Amino acid sequence: MTNPAIIRIASRESPLAMAQTEWIAAELKRFHPHLAVDIIGMTTKGDQILDKPLSQIGGKGLFIKELEVAMSEGRADIAVHSMKDVPMVMPDGFALLTVGEREEIADAFVSNRFASLDDLPAGATVGTSSLRRESQIRHYYPNLRIIALRGNVNTRLGKLDDGEYDAIILASAGLKRLGFGERIRGMLDKSRFIPAITQGALGIEYRRDELAVAALLAPFTRTDTTAMVAAERAFGLRLSASCDVPLGASATLSGTRLTIAGFVATTDGKTRIANHQAGEMHEAAEIGTALAESLLAAGADKILATLMASRHP
């Protein structure tokens, strides 16, 4: 097996995607000083359709399909993703590697006038297009008004600055990676506002038969990040997680002990079922699946059935 002399990275062209890809490229050069790295910027369907929630136009997979086509056609060797954008089931022929240290997983409260959700008056407008965030805000703050917010991080911050919203909710990880950490007024309490599955983690996708590429990527692996992501994705896989299901999960590690918290809710936030599960990190996937089973037994199955029926009347 001969290592390639160049590796081509497919990336979305959004500022955050490019920042993450440039970090991966720099790390590849650090691990393999003689390797040439080429970044191929691409616009995906998820980046093009900004006037509708993702749940209405096909889900998170819209952010990666074009990148996978580029790899299938031999125009790119790998693709860099925010792990939360990756569907729970990988297409045939592709592999996914969790990479690097995980960034802050909490959601961030961003506002120019208010310090926290608690400070918002009744009727205040909060921007998000995440059903997960919306359902949890409606659950804990039913008097607030949720308004859809799409676009890249820069666009969303611009809409806030233009006065279209009183506050917006974004992933802390994205803000920090783009150098906007100072815009964060506060982190949402992770015990109440459970983050998206794999939020704050990065992944590299590659063709499964490219063994030389897999060998180049081996130095990126971290057992702690890999275990947390494995638990959360197993939870999501058991619950058929997608953009039109309000759910979330976050795993943490203490030594080799892994604990994962998760929830499923109705879109209006009136019903929310949450629990946690713990075990040894080498059983990460089994722990995530067990948590999902506990939520299903507690009534999440009825929520999911209702959501499915509403999509296919």
Domains of the chain, each with CATH number or no CATH: 6-101+200-221 (3.40.190.10), 107-187 (3.40.190.10), 235-311 (3.30.160.40)
Mean of the per-residue pLDDT values for the chain?
Answer: 90
Catalytic, 301? Answer no
Residue 1 scores a pLDDT above 80: no
The answer to whether 255 touches 200, Cβ cutoff 8 Å, is no
Q: What is the pLDDT of residue 2?
A: 65
Residue 56 scores a pLDDT above 50: no
Distance, in Å, from the CA atom of 95 to the CA atom of 248, rounded to the nearest integer, reads 23
**Arithmetic mean of pLDDT, 88-101:** 91
The answer to whether 14 touches 42, Cβ cutoff 8 Å, is no
Q: What is the pLDDT of residue 187?
A: 96
Nearest to residue 67, comparing CAs of 81, 53, 56?
Answer: 81
Instruction: Please give the model's pTM, rounded to 2 decimal places.
Output: 0.89
CA distance from start to end of the chain: 53
Nearby residues of 286 by Cβ (< 8 Å), 6 or more positions away: 234, 279
Single out the catalytic residue among 77, 85, 107, 166: 85
Question: Which long-range CB contacts under 8 A does 24-28 form with residues at least 24 apart?
Answer: 24/80, 24/99, 24/202, 24/204, 24/220, 27/100, 27/220, 28/216
Distance, in Å, from the CA atom of 58 to the CA atom of 240, rounded to the nearest integer, reads 14
Nearest to residue 53, comparing CAs of 188, 246, 238?
Answer: 246
Distance, in Å, from the CA atom of 263 to the CA atom of 267, rounded to the nearest integer, reads 12
Residue 60 scores a pLDDT above 60: no
Q: What is the pLDDT of residue 49?
A: 47
**Arithmetic mean of pLDDT, 17-44:** 92
Q: Give the percent of the chain with pLDDT over 70.
A: 91
The answer to whether 94 touches 205, Cβ cutoff 8 Å, is yes
Which amino acid is present at 185? R
**Arithmetic mean of pLDDT, 156-161:** 96
The residues that bridge with 8 in the sheet, in sequence order, are 38
